[in-house]
Structure 1
C-alpha cells in the first residue's frame, strides 16, 4: 500500500492510470497474490484507487499535490535537503547552527539597512506601491552591470533581469530550459537545494565528483559524453559546500567540454562579495554565450528583503521576461530599491571588508579546532563561510546530526549535498557559526558515542 501511495504522490501514477495486475505486482514485490488483493481492496476503501470489473485497478481522483519527498529516494529524513531547510528556519533562537547557510545577525549591516529604509520613505510613492518594470529596477541593473564588469563579466543593464531570490532565478531558468526527464549535471557534492529544485522539475540528475580544484575533469568529460546533459548547474567560486574555487585552467577546460557537447551552464555566484580578489568565472571567460550567471544579496545584506538577478545573453531576455511575468507578474520593487540603497551607501564596502576579515579569522580557527578532533578538510578555502570536512574512521555524519539535535546544535550532514549519497562521513561547517566551544564539545561527544 505504501509503495502505491508513494508512486501516486510522486505522480509516477497519474489519475486514471492502470495499476499493475495482481499477478505482476505479486511477482515484483515477492509477495503472495492474496497480499496484493488485500492491499488493493484497502486502497479502494481509502478512495485512492478504484476497481473496474474485468479491467483491473486504476488511480482515482484528481492529480495529487506534488510531494518532493515521494519523488526522491526513501532515505532517512535527517539527510533530506528539505529537512535541513526546515530545521534551519524553525530552530529555536538559542540553538547553535554550524550547519546553517547564512551569517549571524550581528554580522549583517543593520545600520545601513535602517538608513536604506529611511531613504525609501522619502522616495516617490510609486516605488513603494507600484509594480516594477519587467526587467526590474533600472538603477540597480545599471549598478550590477558595473559591478560585474569589475569581475571581468561583460553584461549590459538590459541583459540583467531582477528576480526575488537566487532560488527563484534558478527555478525560472529550469522552467525555461528543461522538461521532465531532461538530464542535468551537478557537482557532487553541491548546494542541497539544487537537488530539491531539480527533483521538483523532475529532471534526470547526474552527479560529477567535485575536487578541491573543481569538478573531476575526466569524470566530467565522461558524463557529458555518456548522458548528453542539457545543463550543468554549479557554483564556480566559494563553492557550496566545499568552499573551493575553480582555477583559470579548470574554467577553460569546463567551457571547452560543454561547448563540444552543447551543454548550457548555470553559474550561481551568490557568494561573490565574500571574495577579496575575484577568481575566474565561467561567465567571464564565456561572455554569456552558453553561461547564464545568477547572483544575489541575501548572504551579505538581508534574507528578509530578497533580491537577486540573472545575467544572460540578449537573445534570451524576451522569452525569460515573458516567463517571469507569467509566473510572478514581476519582482519585488521595494526590495530592489532597498538593495540598491544599501549597495550605493558608502558603508557597504566597509561592511564587506569587516565580514571578510571575520570570516578569514573564523576559517583559520575552525580548521584548527576540527583538525584537533581528527576531521580532515577537503581544502582550506580562500574566503567565504563554508568548510567541508571528513570525519575520521568512516563515522556517520547523519548520526552526528541526530546527536546534535538532541543537544541543541544543528549540523549539516554530508549526504544532504550528495547526489550519489557517498558523502556519509562529511559535514559542512559554517565557520561564522562554528566558534562557540559547545559546537566542538557536542561534535566530539557524538563522535565518541559512535566509536563505542
Structure 2
C-alpha cells in the first residue's frame, strides 16, 4: 500500500471515530505510536494524518500534550459555486460565470483555450527543472523588475516584431490585468477621461471603473477605430488615455491597418494622449501586424501582455514595456502595492518553456488547429443564422451577429440555465450598442452539445419574440 493511501486510511479511521462520537470534542486522540500499532502503519504515517486533520481544523495540537478533537463548530457557510442566473449582464458577467462554472459546463463564452490544448508536457518538464533549482528561487522575493533572463528573452523576441528595446524597459508583473491596473494607478486620477473602443474587452471597463474615470467610446471597424470619430472624441473630450488591442482585437478579431495606425499615433501626439496597447493575442497571428508601440518607439505607447492564453492561466505573469522613466516610476509603484513583481517561480517556469524549441512548435500547431476550428465553427453557426462579422486572421474568437430580433443578453441568460456560458455583445459595449452580437470562443465549441444547446435556446428565445 502506498504512503498516501495509508495516510488516507488513518484519516478515515479518525473521522469515523469522531462522526460516531467514539471520540468527542475536546477528547485526546490516541498517541502516535499507539495508533500506529493499532493501524499497523508507521508512526510517520500517523504524524502525516494528524497534521492533515489539524490543518483542516478537525483536530488541534497542544504543545507537549498531544492531539485533541476540535470543538464542534457550525461549518462556515460558503456560497454554492455555480452560475448566478439572476446576475445583471454587465462587464463582470462573462468573467464571473466562466470562472465559477462547473467543470463540466459548456463555455463557448470564456476567454481561454481548453486545458488539453495547452503545452502540459513542457510545463511539467519545467516544473521538474524548477524543483531542482537553488533554495533562493523557492523561498526569496524576486527582483523589482522581475527575472532578468525572462526580460532579456522578451527583449530579443520584440526585436523580431520591430520593437527595439532592452530588458531595462521591461517590467514583469503578477498578471496582464495587474499590468494595466499598475499603469492606470500611475497615469490616471478620478474624473479623468479614457477612450475605449466600441466594442472593447469587457474587463477594460471593469478595471477602469475601479479607477473612477469617465469613458468615451469610438466605433471599432474592420481596420481599426473610426479615425474621424477618434479625432472628434479627442477634440471634444480630451481623454488622457486610450486602451486597445491592435493584434486580433478582442472581441472582434479585427487587425489594425498601417494607415489607421499612423493616423492614431499622429492624433495621440497632437492631443498629448497616452496609449496602452494590450498585445496578449500577438502570438496567435500568422505574421506580425502593425504595432502602435513599434511605430511609436515607446514615446507615448505602452505595451502590455501576458502568457495566460498560450501557456497557462494558472502560472500568472504579465509584463509592461515602456520608456525608461515610466518603467522606473512603475517599479516604485509596484513595490509599494505588491512588494515586487510576479512570483520568481512563475517567471522561471515561463522562461523555461519560452526558451525551448518546443514552444515555437506548440504555437505553430495551435495556429493551424485554430484555423481549421474557426472555419468549422463558422459553418455550424451559419446554419443557425449566426454570422461572423469578419473571419479573423488568427486567434480563437468569432464576433457574430445574431438572427434578427434576438438580444444576446436574453440568449446568454437562457443558455446559462442550460449550463452553458455565453459572452453577450453588450458586456463589450460601454454605450450598450452591441445587443445583437455575441462573441464565441471556437476552441471551446468542439463538443456537439454546444451547438445543440445553442440551437435549442435560440429557438426558445425566438419563440418568445414571436
* TM bucket, shorter chain: 0.7 to 0.9
The 1:192–1:135 alpha-carbon spacing in structure 2 relative to 1, beyond 3 Å, is same
Contact kept? 1:189, 1:417, Cα under 8 Å: yes
Asked whether 1:140 is paired with 2:161, we answer no
Asked whether 1:257 is paired with 2:273, we answer no
Match of 1:210 among 205, 210, 220: 220
Asked whether 1:99 is paired with 2:109, we answer yes
Q: 1:253-307: per-residue Cα shift (whole Å, max 9, x none)?
A: 1111111111100000011111121111100100111100001101111111111
Q: How does 1:216-365 map to 2 (within 5 A)?
A: 216-331=226-341, 332-365=343-376
Contact kept? 2:93, 2:427, Cα under 8 Å: no
Asked whether 1:80 is paired with 2:93, we answer no
Asked whether 1:154 is paired with 2:164, we answer yes
Q: 1:92-142: per-residue Cα shift (whole Å, max 9, x none)?
A: 111110000000000000000001011112222111211111111000000
Corresponding residue for residue 211 of structure 2: 201
Shift of 1:78: 4.1
TM-score (norm 1): 0.82
Distance 2:124 2:142 in 1: 22
Question: Where do 5+ consecutive residues of structure 1 fail to align?
Answer: 1-75
Corresponding residue for residue 389 of structure 1: 400
Contact kept? 1:78, 1:84, Cα under 8 Å: no
Distance 1:106 1:371 in 2: 27
Distance 1:225 1:372 in 2: 44
Distance 1:299 1:307 in 2: 11
Moved over 3 A (4+): none
- SS of the residue aligned with 1:79? coil
Distance 1:367 1:217 in 2: 29
Distance 2:117 2:458 in 1: 30
- SS of the residue aligned with 2:143? coil
Shift of 1:347: 1.0
- SS of the residue aligned with 1:246? coil
Distance 2:88 2:111 in 1: 17
Question: Where do 5+ consecutive residues of structure 2 fail to align?
Answer: 1-85
Contact kept? 1:186, 1:233, Cα under 8 Å: yes
Q: How does 1:2-17 map to 2 (within 5 A)?
A: none
Shift of 1:435: 2.8
Contact kept? 2:308, 2:316, Cα under 8 Å: yes
Corresponding residue for residue 188 of structure 1: 198
Contact kept? 1:164, 1:308, Cα under 8 Å: yes
Corresponding residue for residue 38 of structure 1: none
Shift of 1:224: 0.8
Corresponding residue for residue 34 of structure 2: none
Distance 1:178 1:123 in 2: 40
Contact kept? 1:399, 1:446, Cα under 8 Å: no
Distance 1:394 1:174 in 2: 38
Match of 1:112 among 117, 122, 128: 122
Provide the alpha-carbon RMSD of the alignment.
1.1
| Number of residues of Structure 1 aligned to a counterpart in Structure 2 | 377
Corresponding residue for residue 10 of structure 1: none
Contact kept? 1:236, 1:282, Cα under 8 Å: yes
Corresponding residue for residue 178 of structure 1: 188
Q: 1:396-442: per-residue Cα shift (whole Å, max 9, x none)?
A: 11111111111121111111110010111110000101232222222
Shift of 1:317: 1.8
Corresponding residue for residue 452 of structure 2: 441
Distance 1:78 1:346 in 2: 45
Distance 1:328 1:176 in 2: 14
Distance 1:390 1:151 in 2: 33
- SS of the residue aligned with 2:92? helix
Contact kept? 2:275, 2:302, Cα under 8 Å: yes
**Bigger CA radius of gyration:** 2
Contact kept? 1:342, 1:348, Cα under 8 Å: yes
Asked whether 1:428 is paired with 2:439, we answer yes
